[in-house]
């Protein structure tokens, strides 16, 4: 296997306009890299836990065949390595351990007993060596690259090591394309400005991280090439034997020492390479999170455009918040300036007979505190001391909730309350960040409606 310019594949993957183009670029590159390789990419559906399609590029174009291959039809070693590593980890370090597993995993090679189980994912060739590499978005498996060849023992540690940067770059490109942008409205473009500046700044950091990772990959590739050249020279001299005309015991000893030293340096370089790609993956993940928040804001404007009637818009927003944040309980409270209290305007998950009579004074309880201080409140655990005491009610499925003020043109128009995540998990800072952006859209719609009513 010849050493390859890592920037070439980086540029081709970055230029891919969708997920299919990413796969096409990756498969074309691997096919051209080694003439006897027959690469495929098997796409994984985590919701059904099946491999749903296999892509290959054997006749100059990307082809896909559909399948539904359950995990229990695959080798147990492969499933444990790439699909269900969480079975080995417990506790708070699960995510970091999974990320290290994905980023440092050298690959998986089926043995002769596992070959029939792998066959549905490979090209239709009589292969004798096969290598599997994961494509992942942090700790979520996206698919597996499967490279088959008719040569025996084709995938040496050096070959697998050189493929790791390509695998990491392909994972990032595929994850990026799968997070597609949504529909853009005029209002959304106006609201996007600040958020886009955040994304632009992060893109600069992402480019710096990618450049660092590529430099590390190139150095790693060059070191592997040097080691392989030294190993071949050493093997040639040793094969001559002590009686050979070119044999020099001192030279052979010197080659061995140099080879050992380079292998030690390469081990350190491999660690640095993994760290560089881990930083790149973290930057990419943060960019994807910001992009998803931006998409959420756009969808909020779509709710306004799709339901312009004031009497039903609030109900549409409550339903939308419940779906976006996967919560069972949401209440939108409107500020009544005459009585200086909050009243429920729309809700989901509350008792319909009780909700209309709820009155919350400014400063009273969670919603009253949020309205008075005009600050959002995120509580992960009701037992933890906070700025305001919880209600003490027992009809919650977790101890976590969020409450956000709704302000329009400096005026408090209401409070939004979210609780009871469907999975029973706690809200986090990312939930709060997205809820604040979406709440600004809701406040704009609610405040605009109140202004129109007052003007009439």
Q: What is the model's pLDDT at position 91?
A: 40
Confidence of residue 33 (pLDDT cuts 50, 70, 90): confident
Dist CA 157 CA 145 (whole Å) = 17
Task: For 325-334, write each residue's pLDDT tens digit.
Answer: 889 999 999 9
Confidence of residue 182 (pLDDT cuts 50, 70, 90): very low
Dist CA 220 CA 199 (whole Å) = 31
Dist CA 358 CA 348 (whole Å) = 14
Q: Roughly what angle, to the nearest 10 degrees, separates helices 157-178 and 186-240? A: 170
Mean pLDDT across the chain, nearest whole number? Answer: 76
Dist CA 421 CA 122 (whole Å) = 41
Q: Following DSSP, what letter does each residue of 116-142 receive, concatenated? A: HHHGGGS-SS--SEEEEEEEEETTEEE
Q: Are the beta carbons of 401 and 365 closer than 8 angstroms? A: no
What percent of the chain is predicted at pLDDT more than 90? 25
Between 295 and 229, the higher pLDDT residue? 229
Mean pLDDT to the nearest integer, 139-150? 89
- DSSP-derived letter for residue 243 is T
Confidence of residue 191 (pLDDT cuts 50, 70, 90): very low
Report pTM.
0.46
Task: For 197-256, write each residue's pLDDT tens digit.
Answer: 555 665 666 666 667 767 767 766 777 777 777 777 777 766 766 555 555 667 667 767
Q: Are the beta carbons of 332 and 346 closer than 8 angstroms? A: yes
Dist CA 74 CA 303 (whole Å) = 44
Q: Which single residue is written with the structure tokens 């029973």?
A: 424
Mean pLDDT to the nearest integer, 425-434? 85
Which one, of 22, 31, 226, lies nearest residue 146 by Cα? Answer: 31
Percentages (nearest 5) of helix, strand, coil residues in the chain: 55, 20, 25
Q: Beta strands of 261-410 (E only): which ranges?
A: 327-336, 341-348, 359-361, 377-379, 401-408
Mean pLDDT to the nearest integer, 398-412? 86
Report the chain's terminal Cα–Cα distance, integer Å: 77
- Residue 356's φ and ψ, nearest 5 degrees, are -60, -25
What element of type H or E holds 356?
none
Confidence of residue 42 (pLDDT cuts 50, 70, 90): very high
Confidence of residue 3 (pLDDT cuts 50, 70, 90): low
Q: Are the beta carbons of 162 and 1 closer than 8 angstroms? A: yes
Is the pLDDT at 300 greater than 90? The verdict is: no
Give the homologous superfamily in CATH for domain 1-178. GAF domain (3.30.450.40)
Sheet containing 37-45: order of strands? 63-70, 50-56, 37-45, 140-149, 129-137
Across-strand partners of 401? 379, 419
Confidence of residue 269 (pLDDT cuts 50, 70, 90): low
**Identical topology for domains 1-178 and 309-455:** yes
Which one, of 409, 393, 132, 105, lies nearest residue 277 by Cα? Answer: 105
Q: What is the model's pLDDT at position 133?
A: 93
* Cβ partners under 8 Å of residue 286, min gap 6: 202
Is the pLDDT at 72 greater than 60? The verdict is: yes
Among 8-12, 123-127, 194-198, 375-379, where is mean pLDDT lowest? 194-198
Domain locations along the chain: 1-178, 180-306, 309-455
Dist CA 191 CA 4 (whole Å) = 44
Q: What is the model's pLDDT at position 145?
A: 95
What element of type H or E holds 438?
helix 429-455
The topology under which CATH files domain 309-455 is Beta-Lactamase (3.30.450)
Q: What is the model's pLDDT at position 455?
A: 42
What percent of the chain is predicted at pLDDT more than 70? 64
């Amino acid at each position: 296997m010849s050493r390859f310019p890592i920037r070439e594949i980086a540029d081709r993957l970055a230029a891919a306009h969708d997920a299919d183009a990413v796969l096409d670029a990756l498969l074309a590159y691997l096919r051209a890299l080694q003439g006897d390789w027959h690469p495929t990419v098997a796409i994984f559906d985590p919701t059904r836990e099946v491999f749903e399609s296999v892509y290959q590029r054997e006749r100059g174009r990307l082809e896909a065949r559909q399948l539904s291959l359950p995990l229990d039809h695959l080798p147990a070693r492969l499933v444990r390595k790439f699909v269900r590593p969480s079975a080995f980890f417990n506790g708070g370090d699960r995510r970091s351990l999974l990320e290290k597993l994905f980023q440092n995993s050298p690959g998986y090679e089926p043995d002769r007993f596992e070959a029939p189980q792998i066959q549905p994912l490979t090209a239709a060739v009589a292969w004798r060596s096969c290598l599997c590499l994961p494509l992942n978005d942090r700790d979520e498996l996206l698919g597996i690259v499967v490279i088959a060849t008719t040569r025996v023992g084709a995938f040496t540690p050096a070959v697998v090591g050189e493929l790791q940067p390509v695998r990491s770059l392909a994972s990032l490109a595929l994850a990026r394309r799968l997070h597609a942008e949504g529909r853009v409205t005029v209002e959304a473009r106006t609201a996007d400005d600040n958020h886009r500046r955040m994304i632009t700044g992060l893109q600069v950091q992402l480019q710096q991280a990618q450049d660092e990772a590529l430099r590390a990959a190139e150095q790693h590739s060059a070191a592997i090439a040097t080691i392989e050249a030294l190993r071949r020279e050493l093997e040639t001299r040793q094969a001559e034997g002590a009686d050979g005309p070119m044999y020099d015991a001192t030279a052979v000893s010197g080659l061995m020492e140099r080879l050992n030293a380079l292998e030690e340096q390469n081990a350190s370089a491999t660690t640095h390479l993994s760290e560089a790609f881990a930083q790149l993956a973290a930057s990419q993940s943060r960019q994807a999170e910001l992009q998803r928040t931006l998409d959420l804001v756009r969808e909020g404007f779509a709710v306004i455009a799709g339901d312009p009637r004031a009497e039903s818009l609030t109900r549409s927003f409550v339903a939308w918040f419940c779906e976006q944040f996967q919560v069972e309980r949401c209440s939108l409270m409107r500020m009544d300036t005459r009585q200086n209290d909050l009243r429920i305007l729309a809700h989901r998950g509350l008792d319909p007979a009780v909700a209309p009579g709820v009155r919350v004074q400014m400063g009273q309880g969670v919603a009253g505190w949020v309205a008075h201080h005009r600050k959002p409140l995120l509580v992960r655990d009701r037992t933890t001391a906070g700025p305001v005491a919880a209600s003490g009610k027992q009809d919650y499925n977790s101890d976590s909730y969020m409450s956000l003020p709704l302000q329009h043109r400096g005026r408090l128009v209401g409070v939004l309350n979210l609780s009871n995540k469907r999975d029973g998990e706690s809200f986090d800072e990312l939930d709060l960040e997205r809820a604040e952006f979406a709440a600004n859209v809701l406040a704009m719609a609610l405040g605009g409606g109140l202004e129109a009513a007052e003007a009439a």
